[in-house]
């Protein structure tokens, strides 16, 4: 097949934003590993969240077959994207090619990972502190985005993951910032959800990152993007407030 006939399209800002939306809003995905006993491919459903920089995070039981697979061979893939009405193959999805790293409970990253994971997946509080459950960071190396028929893209790590220095600057005060926004802008948050064509509910901001923020209400998650990337917590909060106060 010639280059002109390739199904892979040139990467665009719209493709990157779609990919980031799929990663940031997904609450579950299909994890593919190599079985530690048979060596055969093994796919299973896992709950997923993201760190501030966009790196996927999963919480898994040591009793699950995929956990020893990740430990024996950290190379893995994660498929994200929900099928809606109609043909499921017409809906966007992304496959992330990753390397898994276990997050030890005594590590500096554990508290932040636990907090963000539970903000995104509140039901995880039932088992997050059980002794056999462990977090893994799925460090993204590359990705394949299918935005629907005829919309295929190959994406790099730099397309999807924020620089660590920017993410760290926002992470340090993320929770206090979103708690303050939730208390001050309850009506504005509800109006933003309505602008996204979602019904009224108990909407709240659940995460903040350099590219935007997430709202949640029950099983529903909304992604709101910043016009430009924020390089500090102050800038991120300023843009968050600006989005909330936009009335259109």
3-class DSSP assignment, residue 65: coil
- Whether 82 and 64 map to the same domain: the answer is yes
Number of structural domains the chain divides into: 2
For the cut 50, the answer to whether the pLDDT of residue 1 exceeds it is no
Residue 165 CA, chain-centre distance (Å), reads 19
- Whether 146 and 179 map to the same domain: the answer is no
CA distance 210 to 195: 22
CA distance 170 to 209: 7
Range of the domain at 216: 171-245
pLDDT of residue 216: 96
* Average of per-residue pLDDT across 172-181: 95
For the cut 80, the answer to whether the pLDDT of residue 200 exceeds it is no
pLDDT of residue 88: 80
Of 143, 161, 179, the residue that ends a domain is 161
Q: How many residues does the chain have?
A: 248
- Whether 25 and 139 map to the same domain: the answer is yes
3-class DSSP assignment, residue 70: helix
Residue 191 in any domain: the answer is yes
- Whether 134 and 238 map to the same domain: the answer is no
Q: What is the CATH number of the domain that holds 196?
A: 3.20.180.10
- Note the pTM of the prediction, 2 decimals: 0.94
CA distance 135 to 180: 28
- Whether 124 and 60 map to the same domain: the answer is yes
Backbone angles phi, psi at 182, to 5 degrees: -65, -35
């Amino acid at each position: 097949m010639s280059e002109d006939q390739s199904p892979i399209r040139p990467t665009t800002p719209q493709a990157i934003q779609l990919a980031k939306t799929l990663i940031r809003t997904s609450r579950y995905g299909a994890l593919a590993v190599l079985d530690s006993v048979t060596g055969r491919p093994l796919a299973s459903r896992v709950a997923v969240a993201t760190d501030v920089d966009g790196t996927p995070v999963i919480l898994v039981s040591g009793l699950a077959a995929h956990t020893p697979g990740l430990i024996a061979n950290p190379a893995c893939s994660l498929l994200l994207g929900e099928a809606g009405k109609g043909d499921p193959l017409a809906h966007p999805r992304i496959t992330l090619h990753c390397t898994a790293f276990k997050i030890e409970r005594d590590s500096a990253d554990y508290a932040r990972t636990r907090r963000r994971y539970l903000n995104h997946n509140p039901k995880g509080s039932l088992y997050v502190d059980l002794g056999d459950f462990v977090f893994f960071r799925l460090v993204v190396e590359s990705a394949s985005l299918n935005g629907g028929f005829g919309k295929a893209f190959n994406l790099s790590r730099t397309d999807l993951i924020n620089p660590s220095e920017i993410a760290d600057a926002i992470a340090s005060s993320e929770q206090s910032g979103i708690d303050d926004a939730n208390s001050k802008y309850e009506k504005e948050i509800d109006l933003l959800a309505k602008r996204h064509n979602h019904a009224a509910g108990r909407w709240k901001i659940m995460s903040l990152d350099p590219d935007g923020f997430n709202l949640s209400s029950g099983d529903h998650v909304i992604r709101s993007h910043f016009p430009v990337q924020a390089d500090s917590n102050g800038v991120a909060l300023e843009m968050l407030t600006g989005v909330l106060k936009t009335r259109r």
